[in-house]
Amino acid sequence: MEQHWWQEVVVYQVYPRSFYDSDGDGIGDLKGIIAKLDYLAKLGIGAIWLSPVYASPNDDNGYDISDYQRIMSEFGTMAEMDLLIQEAKKRQIEIVMDLVVNHTSDEHAWFVEAKENPDSLYRDYYVWSDPAKDGGVPNGLTSNFSGSAWTLDEASGQYYLHLFSKKQPDLNWQNPQLRNEIYTMMNYWIDKGIGGFRMDVIDLIGKIPEAEITNNGPKLHEYLQEMNQATFGDKDLLTVGETWGATPEIAKLYSDPKRHELSMVFQFEHVMLDQEAGKSKWDWTPLKINELKHALARWQTELGEEGWNSLFWENHDLPRVISRWGNDREYREESAKLFAIILHMMKGTPYIYQGEEIGMTNSPVTDISQVKDIESINLYYERLAQGYDKETIIAAINRKGRDNARTPMQWSADVNGGFTSGTPWLKVNPNYQTINVEQALTDENSIFYTYQKLIALRKDHPLMIWGDFELLETTDKIFAYLRRYQGETWLVVGNFSDDKQTLDLGQYAVRKTIIHNYPEIITSLARELRPWEAFVTVVEANDDRK
C-alpha cells in the first residue's frame, strides 16, 4: 500500500465555537485558534479538522451553510482564515476543512432563489416533491432532528426535503450543475492550501428520496469518483467521509486506493453499541466491553490493504468518552489514559477531539432551557408529546446530548475556564477549576502528557502505523492485542472496569515497558490488573527466547 502523510499524523478536531474566544463576545473564533496553535504544536498533532467556519445562521451551529466562500462573522474574516492556514503550516499542521454538501442553510442564495422562483435553475439544486394523495407529506422519510423530513413550501404547494433541521434543505446531487458548483467551491478552498476535507454525512449524497433511500444510494460512489477527479484527486490531501452506515466491506468502497475516492471514513459501529438494537442513541443500554473490542478488532483486520481506518472515541456530536464508558470520578485520569493508549496503539489515523487530551467530562443539565443543541431540543419536545416524562428525557440528553462535547474548552482555572472574558455561548463545565490545560501542563503525569507521548511514539515507531493487529482472547473486561512489525511485537492491554482483573498472558515475556498509566515497571504478564490499568510492552513469545 502506498504511504501518505495522513496515515502518519494524529488529527485534532477543533469545534471553533467552543475553542477559544479572542474578542470577548462569548464565541470562539479564528484568532483564538491561531493563539492556541503553539499549544497544539506542543501536543504534536499534524492536522486540525476544523468544524465549519463558513457563513451560517447557526441553526445547527455552522452545519447549515449560507455561503461556502465567506467566513461566519462571529468567527472572523477570510484574511484571518488565510492566516490560520499559513500559521498552522509554519508548525507542520495542515488544516482540514469540514465539507457540508449534503445540504445547505435555507438562507443560502440558491435556496432563497429556488423557493421564490419555482422556475429558477436553482429549484432543482434541492429536492422538491408534490404532496401525497392525501395532501400530506410525500412519504415516510424522517429527520435526524425529529419529525418528518419534509416541510411544505406554501407558495408552491410542494414539500422540500431536509434530513436534518427544516433550515437545512438537502441538495439534489442528481443535478450535474449542482455537483459542478460544489467542485468549484472545493477547488477554491484547495487553492488556499488546505490539507483536506472531512465530509459531513457524505454517505447521504446518493439518496433516492422517492424510494426512501437515504444512505449508500446507487450513485454514491460514482459521485465520489467524479468529485475526486474534479478536485483533490491529483493532490495528496486527507479526505475523510462521515459514513454512519459503513461496514468494513462498504468502507473498502470508499477508501481502497485503487478506487480513487477518499483516504478513509469515520465508521460508527462502536459508537452505536450502547443503544438498544433498532432504536436511537437516546435509548441507552450498557456497553458490553466484549462487543466493543470485537467491533474494533474487526475493523482492524477486515480492511486489510483495501482501505484505511480512522480511530476516534469523541467528536462534536458524541458524549465525552470517560463519562460515557470510563469512570470520570474516582478513576478519571486512569480511564482517560486507558482510552488514549488503547485507541492510539491501533492501526489507522487517530483523531483527538478538543478537550479529550485533558480528560474533559460530560456537563449535565437539569432543564431543557440550559440546552442549546437543536437535536436535543427537538427530541425533548417530540418525546414530551409522546408521553415521556421530563426527567427521563433530560437523563437521556445528559447521557448522549451533543452539548456534552460542546462546552467551552477549559484553558485555566480563571473565570469561564479562560475560554472567554465575556459570557460564554454555552455554560462552561463547572469542573474547569480542576480540569484545565494550565493544570495539565504543570503536571508531568497528566492525561495531556500521555497523549503527547503517544503522538511522539508514533513519530518514532513505524510499528504503530504499519504493524499488523491481532486480538488476544482474555476475560471480558480486558482488551488486549498485539501489534507486530519487522520482527518486533508490542502487547497492548487495558482493563475496562472499576474492578481488578486477572491477566493471564504468561506466554509472553516482557522486554520493555513503552507506556503505562500506573507508576511501576511491568515485569510479568500473568498479573492482576488494577482498575482502568493500561500499558504497552515490547514482548517476546516465551518460545522465542530460546
Among 21, 29, 59, 60, binds ligand TEU (CB under 6 A): 60
Contact between 167 and 57 under an 8 Å Cβ cutoff? The reply is yes
The set of cell numbers assigned to 97 is 476543512
What's the closest the beta carbon of residue 104 comes to ligand TEU, in angstroms? 10
Alpha-carbon torsion 214, 216, 220, 224, what sign?
Answer: positive
Q: With helix as H, strand as E and coil as C, how does 84-110 read?
A: HHHHHHHCCCEEEEEECCCECCCCCHH
In eight-state DSSP terms, residue 358 is: G
Q: Which residue, 263 or 489, is less far from ligand TEU as judged by CB?
A: 263
If phi over 0 gives left and psi between -120 and 50 gives alpha, with beta otherwise, what is residue 479? beta
Among 19, 68, 159, 164, binds ligand TEU (CB under 6 A): 164
What's the closest the beta carbon of residue 235 comes to ligand TEU, in angstroms? 24
Give the separation between CA 5 and CA 376, rounded to whole angstroms: 37
Q: Which residue, 341 or 405, is less far from ligand TEU as judged by CB?
A: 405
String marking each residue 402-441 x if it binds ligand TEU according to CB under 6 A: x---------------------------------------
Helix, strand and coil percent figures for the chain, each rounded to 5 = 35, 20, 45
| Closest-approach residue to ligand TEU (CB) | 63
What's the closest the beta carbon of residue 226 comes to ligand TEU, in angstroms? 22
Give the separation between CA 133 and CA 71, rounded to whole angstroms: 43
String marking each residue 124-163 x if it binds ligand TEU according to CB under 6 A: --------------------x-------------------
Q: Which residue, 22 or 61, is less far from ligand TEU as judged by CB?
A: 61
The amino acid at 438: E
The set of cell numbers assigned to 354 is 478538543
String marking each residue 366-405 x if it binds ligand TEU according to CB under 6 A: ---------x--------------------------x---
Based on the residue annotation, tell me whether 242 is a catalytic residue of this protein: yes
Among 65, 85, 97, 100, binds ligand TEU (CB under 6 A): 100
String marking each residue 486-515 x if it binds ligand TEU according to CB under 6 A: ------------------------------
Give the separation between CA 315 and CA 323, rounded to whole angstroms: 14
Contact between 28 and 16 under an 8 Å Cβ cutoff? The reply is yes
Within positions 185 to 204, which residues make up the interface with ligand TEU, using CB under 6 A?
200-201
Q: Please pick, among 106, 170, 242, 533, the residue that the annotation labels catalytic.
A: 242
Based on the residue annotation, tell me whether 106 is a catalytic residue of this protein: no
Give the separation between CA 539 and CA 511, rounded to whole angstroms: 5
Task: Tell me whether strands 468-472 and 47-50 are parallel, antiparallel or unpaired.
Answer: unpaired
What's the closest the beta carbon of residue 373 comes to ligand TEU, in angstroms? 8
Kindly state the helix (H) or strand (E) to which residue 229 belongs, with its residue range. helix 220-230
Q: Which residue, 323 or 497, is less far from ligand TEU as judged by CB?
A: 323
Within positions 254 to 313, which residues make up the interface with ligand TEU, using CB under 6 A?
281
Among 21, 170, 314, 317, binds ligand TEU (CB under 6 A): 317
String marking each residue 216-245 x if it binds ligand TEU according to CB under 6 A: --------------------------x-x-
Give the separation between CA 296 and CA 248, rounded to whole angstroms: 11
The set of cell numbers assigned to 183 is 467542485
Contact between 476 and 468 under an 8 Å Cβ cutoff? The reply is no
Kindly state the helix (H) or strand (E) to which residue 291 belongs, with its residue range. helix 289-302
Q: Which residue, 397 or 493, is less far from ligand TEU as judged by CB?
A: 397
Give the separation between CA 471 and CA 474, rounded to whole angstroms: 9
Residue numbers annotated as active site: 200, 242
What are the residues binding ligand TEU (CB under 6 A)?
60, 63, 100, 144, 164, 200-201, 242, 244, 281, 316-317, 375, 402
